[in-house]
């Protein structure tokens, strides 16, 4: 398989997978493109490569920067901005994990707390079914929350250089 063909397939697949996980196709494609590019790309490069508009490019690059998956770099003597992706896949996974945790898990825990305590007869089977499920979810969500925190913390500190490298 030729490089360009393989690149193209990677970009398309990454886009499709992103879609299934609630990430917009273009954002995933830009990410894929930057992940496999040797050098920083400009907005024009991305537009050209993916055949998308300037507005779309700008919005999704900004979103990727928000997620700390991509950053701006400047080239000496060039007025344009260029973009580069974090290439260490472990770091990428960590950033996505911590970002989704912050944006989604934390709010879930809040909702579960709000609705966990309800008025009404605790003997009523409808009440019981509700509080049982919500209680289980609370426990589960808190456990997951802690687990992710530890994972992220561990990665940001000492572990990084030693034990976790075994898994890379």
Query: Which residues sit at the interface with a second copy, rule CB under 8 A?
Result: 1-3, 6-7, 9-10, 13, 17, 19-22, 35-39, 87-90, 93, 104, 108, 111, 114-115, 117-120, 125-130, 132-134, 136-137, 139-140, 143, 167-168
Q: How far is the CB of 81 from DNA (least distance, A)?
A: 3
Contact assessment for residue 145 and residue 101, using Cβ atoms and an 8 Å cutoff? yes
Region for residue 124 given its phi and psi (left: phi exceeds 0; alpha: psi -120 to 50; beta: otherwise): beta
Which strands make up the sheet holding 81-85, listed edge to edge?
Answer: 41-42, 81-85, 70-74
Instruction: Return the residue of 25, 68, 91, 95 that touches DNA, per CB under 7 A.
Output: 25
Q: Is 54 in the site for DNA (CB under 7 A)?
A: yes
Instruction: Using the minimum distance from each CB to a second copy, give the nearer residue, 17 or 73.
Output: 17
Cα 159–chain centre separation: 22
Q: How far is the CB of 8 from a second copy (least distance, A)?
A: 9
Count the neighbouring beta carbons within 10 Å of the beta carbon of residue 23. 19
Q: Is 84 in the site for DNA (CB under 7 A)?
A: no
- Going by C-alpha positions, the residue among 70, 32, 62, 68 that lies closest to residue 49 is 32
Q: How far is the CB of 128 from DNA (least distance, A)?
A: 26
């Amino acid at each position: 398989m030729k490089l360009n063909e393989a690149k193209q397939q990677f970009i398309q697949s990454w886009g499709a997978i992103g879609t299934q996980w609630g990430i917009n196709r273009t954002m995933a494609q830009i990410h894929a493109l930057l992940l496999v590019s040797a050098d920083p790309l400009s907005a024009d490069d991305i537009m050209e490569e993916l055949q998308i508009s300037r507005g779309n490019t700008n919005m999704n690059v900004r979103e990727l920067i928000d997620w700390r998956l991509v950053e701006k770099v400047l080239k000496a003597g060039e007025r344009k901005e260029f973009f580069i992706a974090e290439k260490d896949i472990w770091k990428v996974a960590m950033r996505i994990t911590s970002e989704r945790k912050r944006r989604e898990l934390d709010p879930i825990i809040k909702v579960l707390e709000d609705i966990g305590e309800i008025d009404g007869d605790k003997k009523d089977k409808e009440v019981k079914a509700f509080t049982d499920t919500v209680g289980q979810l609370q426990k589960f969500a808190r456990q997951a929350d802690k687990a992710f925190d530890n994972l992220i913390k561990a990665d940001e500190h000492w572990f990084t250089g030693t034990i976790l490298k075994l898994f890379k």
